[in-house]
Structure 1
Amino acid sequence: MSNATNNGYRVGAQSEWFDKLPDGKDLDAMVLRVRKIIEPWLTAVFQAEHLNLLLGSGFTTAIGYLCDATATGMGTRPLGTRFDEKIDSFAASGAAKMGRGAPNIEDQFRTAFALLEGLNIGGKFEDINSLKTALDSRMSEFLSSLFSTERGIASSEETKWRGAVTALQSFLLSFASRAASRERLHIFTTNYDRLIEYGCDLAGIRVIDRFVGALEPAFRSSRLDCDYHYNPPGIRGEPRFMEGVIRLTKLHGSLDWAMDNRTGNIVRRGIPFGPADHSPYIPNSPVDTVMIYPNATKDVETTAYPYAELFRDMAAALCRPNSVLVLYGYGFGDDHLNRVLLDMLVIPSTHIVVISYSMDARLTAFLHRAGREAQITLLIGPHFADLTKLTEEYLPKPAIDHISSRMSELLRNRSYSRADESPVTREESLTEGEA
């Protein structure tokens, strides 16, 4: 592997890295050759007993790119308080320790929230009020930008929108189309937007999460492994698992999660995908109500409710034998998640598939820490991370195709006469051979 911008793959014992991709027919030939290596491998990997998918901000960026929609910027901006210099300095040092480079808005929020908690203990009212007002304003802007990203995707030009949602649905169905007898796909995401839910609605995928209720579903701590079943015709008392069902865990919260101060419950509001500017769905004091979680870098911060439950779900899903995790658009900048991934790889039968736009410093550092090449599949570079190419060329067929599997089984049980190409059963062939 030469540099961070190259396209390349490592699949089992085979690997290949391209300084420059060919053009025209040579590119088509390369794709066809490489597909014969990658697609069967991923098909086999996806048949693991436990299949999981972790999506980061790169997933929203990829869909936004297909729609010409601008993804939410994660850069920092001044809060406008007298504490800005100290907040930025502390956020920068924390990001440096994480190996993340420049701090992002989550680092800034995390530091400002920690300072606000300290001021609530022994600070002046003026400082508390000033910082709280600044945080409410900055968080409202951040929520508006997230809604704007959703709106840019939903309202994009017709042709681009159809291409984007086709890629979105194909991507999700490639993972979700598991036989109902296998355990459900579990999707984890650090994103605050509702792009996954949007894609599942369009594809007709049923989502199971921890929320229970009709008008305002409330977050529940009970893990009952609820599922969807149906009664097949003519059979009573033998319900079967439905196909096209997934589990979803949003590790850092969601735009539509809110704290109901009257009941004390965390509820999911009925907010449409991509609402208009100056939406009434954005509260005046999002700091007190909206349940989105700035990037956690300390263990103590992940103990807050409900995030401890969500991280516990992730660890329980990944750290067990015969578990597979596919990562797309995840930048390896969250140490509390990386720790779970490293613990997962301690189990020899687990496997991780990394699909990334580049081999950057954070991914390289993670691979060095893990050190288990046989348990890590890599698809790196703009070519392999391109969502359209990925779904069309390399991911397994997004369908539960019983007809093709039955046809293959039928052909295996038959041979053909060389003279007239007429089908001959295995029993007839054996009889002729014995004669």
Structure 2
Amino acid sequence: MANLAQHYYRVGTSTFSTDVIPTNAPELDEFIAKHRKKIEPWLTATCQAEHLNLLLGSGFTAAIGHIAGSPAAGMDKITLDTKFDAEIDAHATETAKRMGRGAPNIEDQFRSALAVLAGSEILNLSDGEDLRDKLNKQLKLFLESLLETERGIESAKGEKADRADSVLQSFLLSFASRTASRERLHVFTTNYDRLLEYGCDLAGIRTIDRFVGALNPVFRASRVDADYHYNPPGIRGEPRFMEGVLRLTKLHGSLDWNYDARRRSIKRIGLPFGAPKTHTDIPSEPVDTVMIYPNPAKDFETTYYPYAELFRDFAASVCRPNAVLFVYGYGFGDDHINRIILDMLAIPSTHIVVAARSMSDRLESFLQKTRDAQTTLIVGKHFTDLETLTRHYLPKPALDFISTRLAELLKRRPSLVDDGKGNEAGQKDTASSA
């Protein structure tokens, strides 16, 4: 696959590959119309699966941020400026290589640094306090960069703001607008920001997660499959499922999740979307409080909790017959996630749809372990541009419902069918008869 063209798709039995996309409007419209006939029906069919799941990575935030004119938070390596920098960087490089990620990023450095911090505190090393101070500083800067991305999206003005909001809502509704009697869409994300929650609020989508409470919701290990129902007028004892509901799981945590040491619980604090740097709920010492990834600096329980529960939810949702996983903006750099997806594909009736900006080494390595019949692949800047993808290639559940009703109506009333000349069937063509 290394020699694929820049723009490529494989949907069902149809494949297409090109390095050139038309630039002028008439040719581009014709190009889109031609390929929409192949891509959109296939994606619509896959999204009608019994169990539909959506996995979003940092590319999703970057795409919305690009439309809004707000660059996404960087994940590049940093300099901690501590005595242990060489050892931390070496360990981060090794773990990133072992996970198939390639070059290490800031997450790898944080994980390695937190492991060193835990060891230095066990050994009571004098340099441990300096490492803690430097880590707190860098973690706080990282949180502020995430909030800056949120703030840029939320404060966008004019046409950029309208486009970003429209694309965000349309993308989510393309998947969430399932028939209420079907199982809910389950959205998984590796992102720490709250863009998904922000988009659900804009679209009026209700989210279900493991947090329970009103003021400071608390993460609960008990999963009772809570849902939203309503009672239709005049009907008793027959509640119906509400539309516009999805389940949300943030696999790596969130910047508004805090660990309460006194109550030994995970809480979601009321940090506004795009909060300013001076907001009082931004912790000054995030090493001990912020839950944004498995943190070996905490005790054994919090190292695996709540992350074990989150990944259990992921495996339980995707690893079952007739499940479909749609992947957007995820770079296949997390081995623990890839392993679950491959386990899912061991079930013959499952399917994965991958929308990727380009064919990376990590994606190619992952695809080599899968079967073509179980994978749909959409690659390239044109096909995966979020605005183009949402407008032209993703399913439109509301339109599909109306189109189905229209087709049924036309079967019963054939006189309404147009004969291609602007006349209804059975209507006399006066121009030809004259």
Instruction: State the Cα distance separating 1:260 from its structure 2 match.
Output: 1.5
Shift of the alpha carbon at 1:294?
5.7
Contact 1:106 1:294 in 2 (8 A): no
Q: Provide closer, same or farther for how the CA distance between residues 420 and 141 of structure 1 changes in structure 2, counting only shifts above 3 A.
A: closer
Residues 10-409 of structure 1 mapped to structure 2, 5 A cutoff: 10-24=10-24, 25-124=26-125, 126-293=126-293, 304-370=304-370, 372-399=371-398, 402-409=401-408
Query: Which of 410-419 and 113-122 deviates more?
Result: 410-419
The one-letter code of the counterpart of 1:311 is: F
Rate the CA distance shift 1:22–1:267 in 2: closer, same or farther, 3 A: same
How far apart, in 2, do the equivalents of 1:112 and 1:136 lie? 11
User: Does the 8 Å contact 1:116/1:131 carry over to 2?
Assistant: yes
State the alpha-carbon separation in 2 of the partners of residues 302 and 280 from structure 1. 24
SS of 2:71's equivalent in the other structure is coil
In structure 2, relative to structure 1, the CA distance for the partners of 1:225 and 1:80 (3 Å cut) is same
Q: Structure 1 pair 213/420, CA: closer, same or farther in 2 (3 Å)?
A: closer
CA drift of 1:302 comes to 10
Unaligned runs of 5+ in 2: 428-434
Higher mean alpha-carbon deviation, 413-422 vs 160-169, is at 413-422
Q: Secondary structure at the match of 2:112?
A: helix
- The separation in 1 between residues aligned to 2:301 and 2:362, in whole angstroms, is 22
| Alpha-carbon contact 1:2-1:19 (below 8 Å) kept | no
Change (3 A) 1:303 1:284: closer
Secondary structure at the counterpart of residue 378 of structure 1: strand
CA distance in 2 between counterparts of 1:302 and 1:248 reads 21
Cα distance in 1 between the residues matched to 2:369 and 2:357: 20
What is the CA-CA distance between 1:279 and the residue it aligns to?
2.3
4+ aligned runs moved over 3 Å, structure 1: 1-5, 300-303, 400-404, 413-420
Relative to structure 1, is the Cα distance of residues 358 and 346 closer, same or farther in structure 2, using a 3 angstrom cutoff? Answer: same
The whole-number CA distance in structure 2 between the counterparts of 1:72 and 1:238 is 47
Given that 2:218 and 2:268 are in contact with CA atoms closer than 8 Å, whether structure 1 keeps it comes out as: yes
Give the superposition deviation at 1:301. Answer: 11
Aligned partners of 2:205 and 2:244 also within 8 Å: yes
Identity %: 61
Q: 1:432 — aligned with what?
A: none
Distance 1:308 1:3 in 2: 39
Which is further off, 284-293 or 241-250?
284-293
CA–CA distance in 2 between the matches of 1:168 and 1:295? 31
Query: Aligned partner of 1:164: which letter?
Result: A
Counterpart CA distance in 2 for 1:217 and 1:261 is 15
Question: Alpha-carbon deviation of 1:282?
Answer: 1.3
Distance 1:73 1:239, change over 3 A: same
TM superposition shift of 1:295? 9.4
- Asked if 1 retains the 8 angstrom alpha-carbon contact of 2:414 and 2:425, the reply is no
Aligned match of 1:428? none
Q: Decide whether the 8 Å contact of 1:170 with 1:398 is kept in 2.
A: no
Residue 274 of structure 1 aligns to a residue whose secondary structure is: coil
Do the aligned partners of 1:174 and 1:395 also contact (CA within 8 Å) in 2?
A: yes
Whether the aligned pair in 2 keeps the contact of 1:106 and 1:295 (CA below 8 Å) is no
Q: Distance in 2 between matches of 1:294 and 1:420?
A: 65
Q: Distance in 2 between matches of 1:47 and 1:302?
A: 38
The 3-state SS of whatever aligns with 2:368 is helix
1:349 partner letter: S
TM normalised by structure 2 equals 0.92
Q: Please give the alpha-carbon distance, in whole angstroms, between the structure 1 residues aligned to 2:61 and 2:333.
A: 17
Q: Match of 2:411?
A: 412
Assess if the C-alpha contact under 8 Å between 1:211 and 1:217 holds in 2.
yes
Distance 1:283 1:335 in 2: 30
Please tell me whether the aligned partners of residues 189 and 251 of structure 1 are also in contact (alpha carbons under 8 angstroms): yes
Structure-2 separation of matches of 1:7 and 1:398: 26
Distance in 1 of aligned mates of 2:403 and 2:20:
37
Output the CA distance in 1 between the equivalents of 2:301 and 2:360. Answer: 27
Contact 1:3 1:359 in 2 (8 A): no
Secondary structure at 1:188 match in 2:
strand
2:425 to 411, 421, 424: 421
Please give the per-residue CA displacement for 1:163-212, whole angstroms capped at 9, x wherever unaligned.
Answer: 01100000000000000010000000000000000000000000000000
- Which is further off, 14-23 or 167-176? 14-23
What TM-score do you get using the length of structure 1 for normalisation?
A: 0.92
Mapped contact 2:294–2:303 kept (Cα < 8 A): no
Query: Is contact 1:192–1:253 with CA below 8 Å preserved after alignment?
Result: yes
Q: Distance in 2 between matches of 1:78 and 1:354?
A: 34
- Summarize the Cα distance change of 1:400–1:19 in structure 2 as closer, same or farther, 3 Å threshold: closer
Taking structure 1 as reference, are residues 364 and 402 closer, same or farther at Cα in structure 2, changes over 3 Å only? closer
Deviation track 1:327-363 (CA, whole Å, cap 9, x = no partner) reads 0000000000000010000000000000010001110
Deviation at 1:13, TM superposition (A): 1.1
Is the Cα–Cα contact under 8 Å of residues 302 and 308 in structure 1 kept in the other structure?
A: no
| 1:278 Cα deviation after fit | 2.6
Contact 2:2–2:359 (CA<8 Å) still a contact in 1? no
- Alpha-carbon shift at residue 121 of structure 1 (Å): 1.8
Q: Give the superposition deviation at 1:405.
A: 2.5
Cα distance in 1 for residues equivalent to 2:399 and 2:313: 27
Query: What is the alpha-carbon distance in structure 2 between the residues aligned to residue 322 and residue 3 of structure 1?
Result: 32
**Cα distance, 1:415 vs. partner?**
3.3
Paired amino acid for 1:350: T
Q: Which residue of the partner structure matches residue 432 of structure 2?
A: none
- State how far apart, in whole Å, the 1-side matches of 2:253 and 2:99 are: 21
- Counterpart CA distance in 1 for 2:43 and 2:322 is 15
DSSP-derived class of the 2:127 partner: helix
